[in-house]
């Protein structure tokens, strides 16, 4: 099951690499004064949060073939990561937005008095506080992501859960599922530990 372990980790880390910044972009679009951008991002969030991840995996993997006649990629990691990234970006976007909107308006006004530009205000004053405030919610989503990687089996992508099913069927044994369950638990324990350390390191931003 070692190869499946590597594939699961690949889905997890690649999703975070793409979903975290994409979520911020979507959140800023959602708060934009331009109605078109706000409506587009709102629709994006609504669709991605309102439909099952399994359906999104199937749509991204096989949709191009049925709609445009484009052959399905042989490397299924690509559509899997795309589906996971846009799905989690939608959730991260709402978390970012709630964090940004929780910052008192007075801090924006004070930064203007001090001569900060809007970009400097956001990067140096607002963003550090937002990160501190949203860490618990982000941790919950990241923990969920670890478990959701098992959904990749719906498009026949071989990760640890898929291999556990194959071995269990061939050996008529439940032990592979137990091994997979232990992996998910240990992985989530490590993720929770790391996030707690990050929260502790960010304590100096607490108001």
Contact in structure between 149 and 159 (CB atoms under 8 Å): yes
State yes or no: pLDDT of 26 exceeds 90. yes
Contact in structure between 32 and 207 (CB atoms under 8 Å): no
With tokens 């929260």, the residue in question is 199
CA count, 13 A, side-chain hemisphere, 160: 24
**Distance in angstroms (rounded) separating the CA atoms of residues 205 and 207:** 6
In this prediction, residue 122 has a pLDDT band, given cuts at 50, 70 and 90, of confident
Which pTM value belongs to this model?
0.89
Domains with residue ranges and CATH for the chain: 2-205 (1.10.3720.10)
Q: Distance between the two ends of the chain, CA-based, in angstroms?
A: 47
Contact in structure between 22 and 86 (CB atoms under 8 Å): yes
Question: How confident is the model at residue 73, as a pLDDT?
Answer: 67
pLDDT, mean of residues 141-153: 93
In this prediction, residue 50 has a pLDDT band, given cuts at 50, 70 and 90, of very high
| Total residues belonging to the chain | 207
Contact in structure between 205 and 129 (CB atoms under 8 Å): yes
State yes or no: pLDDT of 162 exceeds 90. no
Count CB-CB contacts under 10 A for residue 102: 11
In this prediction, residue 205 has a pLDDT band, given cuts at 50, 70 and 90, of very low
pLDDT, mean of residues 139-156: 92
**What is the percent of the chain with per-residue pLDDT over 70, rounded to a whole number?**
97
Hey, what are 172's tokens? 């008529």
Contact in structure between 198 and 178 (CB atoms under 8 Å): no
State yes or no: pLDDT of 69 exceeds 50. yes
């Amino acid at each position: 099951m070692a190869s499946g372990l590597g594939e699961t980790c690949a889905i997890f880390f690649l999703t975070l690499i793409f979903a975290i910044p994409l979520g911020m972009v979507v959140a800023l679009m959602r708060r934009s004064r331009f109605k078109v951008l706000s409506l587009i991002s709102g629709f994006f969030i609504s669709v991605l949060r309102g439909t099952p991840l399994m359906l999104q995996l199937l749509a991204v993997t096989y949709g191009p073939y049925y709609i445009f006649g484009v052959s399905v990629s042989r490397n299924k990691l690509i559509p899997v990561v795309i589906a996971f990234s846009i799905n989690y970006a939608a959730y991260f976007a709402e978390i970012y937005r709630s964090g940004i909107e929780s910052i008192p308006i007075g801090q924006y006004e004070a930064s203007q008095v001090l001569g900060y530009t809007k970009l400097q205000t956001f990067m140096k004053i607002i963003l550090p506080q937002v990160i501190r405030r949203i860490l618990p919610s982000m941790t919950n989503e990241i923990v969920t992501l670890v478990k959701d990687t098992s959904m990749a089996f719906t498009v026949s992508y071989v990760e640890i859960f898929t291999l556990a099913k194959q071995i269990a069927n061939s050996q008529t044994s439940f032990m592979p599922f137990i091994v997979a369950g232990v992996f998910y638990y240990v992985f989530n324990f490590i993720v929770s530990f790391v996030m707690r350390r990050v929260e502790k390191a960010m304590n100096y931003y607490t108001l």
